[in-house]
Amino acid sequence: MYAYLLDVLLRFGHIVFGVAWIGLLYYFNFVQTEYVKVADDGAKSDVMQKLAPIALWWFRWAAMFTFLTGLILLGWIMSQQRFSLGITLGALMETLMMLNVWLIIWPNQRIVIGLDEGDKAAAAPKAGLASRTNTLFSLPMLYFMVASVPSPLLSVNGGVWGGDMSPTALVIVLSIVVLIEANAIWGKMMDAIQSVRAVITSSLILTVIMAGVVHYA
């Protein structure tokens, strides 16, 4: 009973922070960014000076606590011998997303909203690319996390999906993740993630590709 309650509490905490983080990620990408494109100068100024700092505070700390609770949960899962490569891949994408928030999005957004001196014209695209990349990662990350929960419907690997992932599948999926993250750091905005519709579609496609590789490669 103790182990079960601890498991539930760890998952609950991780999910609560995750909902806040990914919810704000979608807000920035699907709502605020699109609003700023059509808003008048007065409204844009109000968003940047009053709304964005508050939203970014919740956003970055939700990301941090999602990561920290996930790290604790991962340690607990490993101690219970329910570890799988599926969980590892989800955790890897979550870690990269958190690092994107703190090392790319937040420093550049500080310039955009006027907290730091700098080139706003250069900072905005960097923050935007990292944010779009996190949105691209979000669905496969969530899929791997959910699909890796032990299920009595699976008759192999103790009911843990992704437990029998082949080395080939691991290399393919890791290569995809590394290439996407490299573009977030050194690349440029691509058509596949530039618009809201494009990034949602691309994230769904990426989820299907990664899941297919893990299942069949």
Specify the higher pLDDT residue, 7 or 51.
51
The vertex-17 CA angle with 8 and 109, nearest 5°, equals 165
**Across the chain, where does the E strand assignment appear?**
none
Cα–Cα distance between 6 and 48 in angstroms, integer? 41
pLDDT value at residue 162: 52
Q: Mind listing the pLDDT tens digit for each residue in 104-153? A: 999 999 999 999 999 999 999 999 999 999 999 999 999 988 887 665 55
Q: Is the pLDDT of residue 52 over 50?
A: yes
Cα–Cα distance between 209 and 216 in angstroms, integer? 10
Specify the higher pLDDT residue, 216 or 5.
5
Domain boundaries, the chain: 2-216
The DSSP code for 187 is S
Cα–Cα distance between 52 and 69 in angstroms, integer? 25
In this prediction the pTM is 0.92
State the average pLDDT over residues 155-179.
73
For residue 135, the Cα-to-chain-centroid distance in whole angstroms is 6
